[in-house]
Homo-oligomer: A and B are copies of this chain.
Amino acid sequence: MLFKDITIVDEEFKIKEHMYVGVKDDRIAYLAETMPSESFGEEYDGKNKLLIPAFYNAHSHLAMCLMRGYGENLPLMTWLQGRIFPFEAHLTPDDIYYGTMLGIAEMLRFGIAGTEDMYLNYDAQARALIDGGVKARYAASVAWMDNTSYFDLPIYKDALESIAKYNNYDNGRIKTTFSLHAEYTSTEAIAKAVAQAAADNGSSIHVHAAESQGEVDICRQRHQRRSPIRYLSDCGIFDVPTVAAHCVHIDDHDIEILKEHNVTVATCPKSNAKLSSGICPVTSLLEAGVNVAIGTDSVASNNNLNMIEEMRFFNLLQKAETLDPTVITPEQTLYAATRAGALSQQREDCGLVKEGFKADLTVIDVDQIYMKPVYNMLNNLIYAASGNDVVLTMVDGKVLYKDGEYPCMDIERIIYECEKSRARILGAINAVDVPDLSVK
């Protein structure tokens, strides 16, 4: 495909108008101000369009799309114990497959090419991510509090099997990882064993950390006054490439540890607000040089995968929190939603519109009343655009979403199966195990 006479965000996150971008196989093979002499097949008219690096979601639980809007305005423990856990107890691998597919469709609709996905079933997650066509690193998360050795748990065998079957599938599009759910859902022996397994397999780790103040307080009680970040570091979790989701309640010493170990912080501004966890100190993390990428968390606490909206929360919440309107530029914001997420998965050749890079690209229709007038298109993108303005999402050179259509997905079937799962599970829950928790 050749994007003709289009405005782009270049590798330095600057706007360039009237550019020509040619895609050959899975890469950007041409980028210049003039028409190429060679043909790149289909030509895409760049009039009123903005071409940006496709978004990378740094923290998702895609299958939880099944639980969108299921329980709102509840205290955290009521929500988890009265809603989420009972629902999850009924999930089959097929539910997880179709829930993940629904999440992938939504990723594509909002211009997201890749994600770091944590959920409950290696195989079902992998099958969906392979079929859905997106880039992903994925794991089922380890939450285990008794004395069984991690190496005796079925999930360890699942991890090894998944690595053998799917790691680097489709030319590196799919990657496996290890996941520790969190400090508060595991023992020290489990945490150390997961770190060991990841190191032994040359792999990486995806973990929740310092999401709420309560988590930090209890961690300090249990682990010799250490913060979750310090504790996880001591367990060896950060000795492999790690994505630490949330990091809302962290201090300067935690930030030093994160920087020293090149940990990526996956900040989830909307989810942290909705669950009343707080606001991640992104400004301080960026000043310290930490790689900060943006995640959506699950839609059960978001409630969408709209990355343009997520960028807006990311940006504005820092200005509200620091009381300094000069913090977090539009460029830093788009970087956190694109390149930073690609780097968190060691995808050095992804996340930029740059010749030779993988063709993970998103096209925004900027011919909108709320995008006029134009002083600077990047300002308009970060502060005014809508997630719905995404009109094309390309992953590894393949168009997976265009103008409302998903050329590689049976979207009706996915929605049908998700509605069926929802109805079946709700029926089972209402029949047996949940007290009345009317949605306020």
Contacts and interface: CB of A to CB of B under 8 A. Distances in A.
Interface in A352-408: 369-370, 372-376, 379-380, 383-384, 386-389
Contacts of A176: none
Nearest to A389: B388
Interface in A400-429: 411, 415, 418-419, 422
Given A69-B380, A323-B276, A380-B69, A369 B303 contact: no
Interface in A256-286: 270, 272-279
Number of copies: 2
A252 B323 CA distance: 22
Contacts of A276: 319-320, 322-325
Interface string A39-80: 000000000000000000000000001101111111110010
Interface string A321-354: 0111111111100000000000000000000000
A322 B274 CA distance: 11
A74 B325 contact: yes
B370 A316 contact: no
B273 A383 contact: no
Candidate in A330, A379, A389, A439 with the most chain B CB atoms within 10 angstroms: A379
Interface stretch (A30-38, A144-152, A200-208, A305-313): A305-313
Contacts of A309: 309, 312, 386
Given A69-B380, A380-B68, A320 B369 contact: no
A225 B312 CA distance: 37
A292 interface: no
B106 A369 contact: yes
A296 to B, nearest CB: 11
Given A325-B274, A388-B386, A418-B372, A379 B72 contact: yes
Contacts of A369: 102, 105-106, 109, 411, 415
Interface residues of A, number: 72
A320 B69 contact: no
Interface in A94-142: 102, 105-106, 109-110
A256 to B, nearest CB: 26
A299 interface: yes
A44 B318 CA distance: 43
A387 B411 CA distance: 23
A256 B187 CA distance: 51
A370 B306 contact: yes
Candidate in A270, A313, A369 with the most chain B CB atoms within 10 angstroms: A369
B319 A69 contact: no
A304 interface: yes
A7 interface: no
Given A75-B325, A317-B320, A69 B376 contact: yes
Nearest to A326: B73
A167 interface: no
A375 B329 contact: no
A370 B69 contact: no
13 contacts: A69-B374, A72-B329, A75-B325, A75-B326, A109-B369, A273-B319, A275-B325, A302-B383, A304-B383, A326-B440, A375-B422, A375-B439, A386-B386
The 9 closest A-B pairs by CB, nearest first: A69-B379, A303-B383, A273-B320, A388-B388, A273-B316, A303-B384, A276-B325, A304-B370, A373-B422
Interface of A: 65-66, 68-76, 79, 102, 105-106, 109-110, 213, 270, 272-279, 299, 302-306, 309, 312-313, 316-317, 319-320, 322-331, 369-370, 372-376, 379-380, 383-384, 386-389, 411, 415, 418-419, 422, 439-440
